[in-house]
Structure 1
Amino acid sequence: MLEALQQTNKVIGVKQTNKALNQDKVKTLYLAQDAEAFLLEKLKDAANKKEVEILYVDSMKKLGKACGIDVSAAAAAILK
């Protein structure tokens, strides 16, 4: 599941992911379960309205590592 995040066609972070969702560019949304709920609510709502698949990752640290970055990430998305 997380292997897909190794590809180059992705965005990382709440702001970039939200922007991509609003532009209908997201194929799959990844959310860290330990991220603050208020950060993820807008992303979940937008993804549900646009019928985007949402996958949950155990931790922000694990999501950041899967994206190939050295910091934690609350959200990431694979682009269409």
Structure 2
Amino acid sequence: MLSELHTAHKVIGVKQSKKAIRDGAAAQVFVALDAEKRIVGPIYELCSEHGMEVTEVTTMTELGDAVGIDVGAAVVVVLH
């Protein structure tokens, strides 16, 4: 599943992810388990409000690698 993230139409980061979830553009949400809870907490809340499931990834580094960036990523949203 993570291997598909590299080529998927997506947004990376908390701010853009929140917007995509609020706007109904999010198809799938990935959150790194080692991200700070104060950062990703609002993502979990938004997903709950919109009935979206969150896929958890072990580390930010793993999620960043999956999307093809050189830094870690706390949140990635695949768009419709």
TM-score by length of 1: 0.93
2:28 aligned with 1:28: yes
Matches within 5 A, 1:9-28: 9-28=9-28
For residues 49 and 27 of structure 1, the distance between their equivalents in structure 2, rounded to whole angstroms, comes to: 15
Identify the residue that residue 65 of structure 1 maps to in structure 2: 65
Please give the root-mean-square deviation of Cα atoms over the aligned residues, in Å.
Answer: 0.9
For residues 16 and 7 of structure 1, the distance between their equivalents in structure 2, rounded to whole angstroms, comes to: 18
Shift of 1:7: 2.1
Could you tell me the percent identity over the aligned residues?
Answer: 36
Q: Which runs of 5+ in 2 are unaligned?
A: none
Q: Which runs of 5+ in 1 are unaligned?
A: none
Shift of 1:22: 1.1
Following TM superposition, the consecutive aligned residue runs of length 4 or more in structure 1 with deviations greater than 6 angstroms are none
Identify the residue that residue 47 of structure 1 maps to in structure 2: 47
User: Secondary structure of 1:5's partner?
Assistant: helix
Q: How many residues align?
A: 80
Identify the residue that residue 6 of structure 2 maps to in structure 1: 6
Which stretch shows the higher mean deviation, 45-54 or 67-76?
45-54
TM-score by length of 2: 0.93
